[in-house]
């Protein structure tokens, strides 16, 4: 290892583990408004929802691995639907946790991101997100999904390497606000589909078949996790 690399590694570690200055309150508020403006209007949401699907399917995949299941592949589709396939017992706690982790993953990721930002760990958040996206890219099994994850991960990488602290902070806060706000809408969309009888194989219905709890109770859990994450994460972001 040459001297330049030897000097760069400590600097790199300090940059990763160090804290960064919090942005001004107006930046925090502005990024929240931008995220809300993306989540609420249907035309923008139809495009932005792809990012929520990445987090949703990534949640299924990560939980499958954590519970000892064999993750065989993830597919992301242009209609913002997705599919995560894992091998293992088709019943039991591992399967239940895997099925329950989809709708809860985006808001919980947002909550974790808000905790990092409240501690001034902006760079760490960007790098952790990039690492998770790279790991997910390995498991994606269709071209559209690979392109979506690649572009998303590339955006995080470019922002973390090529932009200054203020841009990084604004980007990180916008992403976390989007996960918190965007994590709320899918559960309401699922509820509307179930009222129309159009979601018979949803995560909530799969959980109902895996357990003795009705699908409505699992849907309530999705609502509770997303709304509580939004309230808690919002308080951290706003430093209340």
Residue 4 in any domain: the answer is no
φ, ψ (nearest 5 deg) of residue 91: -155, 175
Tokens of 70: 């064999």
Choose among 155, 162, 168, 176: nearest CA to 123.
168
Predicted confidence at residue 7, as pLDDT, reads 43
Predicted confidence at residue 169, as pLDDT, reads 96
Residue 6 in any domain: the answer is no
Q: CB–CB of 20/165 below 8 Å?
A: yes
Residue 7 in any domain: the answer is no
Tokens of 12: 């790199």
Longest CA span, the chain: 65
Residue 83 in any domain: the answer is yes
Choose among 38, 51, 52: nearest CA to 190.
52
Residue 14 in any domain: the answer is no
Predicted confidence at residue 21, as pLDDT, reads 83
φ, ψ (nearest 5 deg) of residue 165: -60, -40
Neighbour count for residue 74 (Cβ, 10 Å):
26
Predicted confidence at residue 14, as pLDDT, reads 64
User: What is the value of pTM for the model shown?
Assistant: 0.92
3-state secondary structure labels for all residues of the chain: CCHHHHHHHHHHHHHHHCCCCCCCHHHHHHHHHHHHHHHCCHHHHHHHHHHHHHHHHHHHHHHHHHCCCEEEEEEECCCCCEEEEEECCCCCHHHHHHHHHHHHHHHHHHHHHHHHHHCCCHHHHHHHHHHHHHHHHHHECCHHHHHHHHHHHHHHHHHHHHCCHHHHHHHHHHHHHHHHHHCCHHHHHHHHHHHCCCCCCCHHHHHHHHCCCCHHHHHHHHHHHHHHHHHHHHHHHCCC
Choose among 175, 48, 155: nearest CA to 109.
175
Own/partner long-range contacts of 18-21 (Cβ < 8 Å, ≥24 apart): 18/123, 19/119, 19/120, 19/121, 20/120, 20/121, 20/122, 20/123, 20/165, 20/168, 20/169, 21/120, 21/165, 21/169
Residue 220 in any domain: the answer is yes
Question: How many domains does the chain fold into?
Answer: 1
Residue 210 in any domain: the answer is yes
Predicted confidence at residue 199, as pLDDT, reads 72
Mind listing the pLDDT tens digit of every residue in the chain (240 residues)? Answer: 554 545 455 666 666 667 778 899 999 999 999 999 999 999 999 999 999 999 999 999 999 999 999 999 999 999 999 999 999 998 899 999 999 999 999 999 999 999 999 999 999 999 999 999 999 999 999 999 999 999 999 999 999 989 999 999 999 999 999 999 999 999 999 999 888 877 778 999 999 999 989 999 999 999 999 999 999 999 999 987
Residue 114 in any domain: the answer is yes
Q: Which domain holds residue 171?
A: 21-237
């Amino acid at each position: 290892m040459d001297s330049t690399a030897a000097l760069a590694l400590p600097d790199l570690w300090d940059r990763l583990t160090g804290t960064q200055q919090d942005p001004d309150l107006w930046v925090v508020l502005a990024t929240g408004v931008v995220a809300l403006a993306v989540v609420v209007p249907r035309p923008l949401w139809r495009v932005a929802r792809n990012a929520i699907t990445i987090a949703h399917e990534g949640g299924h995949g990560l939980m499958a691995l954590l519970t000892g299941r064999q993750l065989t592949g993830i597919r992301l589709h242009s209609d913002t639907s997705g599919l995560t396939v894992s091998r293992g017992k088709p019943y039991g706690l591992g399967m239940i946790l895997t099925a329950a982790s989809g709708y809860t993953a985006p808001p919980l990721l947002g909550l974790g991101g808000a905790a990092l930002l409240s501690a001034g760990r902006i760079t760490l958040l960007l790098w952790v997100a990039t690492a998770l996206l790279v790991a997910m890219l390995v498991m994606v099994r269709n071209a559209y999904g690979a392109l979506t994850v690649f572009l998303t991960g590339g955006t995080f990488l470019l922002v973390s390497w090529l932009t200054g602290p203020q841009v990084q902070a604004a980007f990180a806060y916008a992403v976390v606000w989007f996960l918190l706000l965007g994590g709320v809408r899918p559960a309401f969309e699922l509820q509307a589909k179930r009222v129309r009888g159009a979601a018979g194989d949803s995560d909530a219905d799969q959980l109902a078949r895996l357990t003795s709890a009705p699908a409505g109770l699992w849907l309530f859990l999705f609502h509770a996790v997303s709304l509580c994450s939004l309230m808690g994460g919002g308080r951290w972001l706003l430093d209340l």
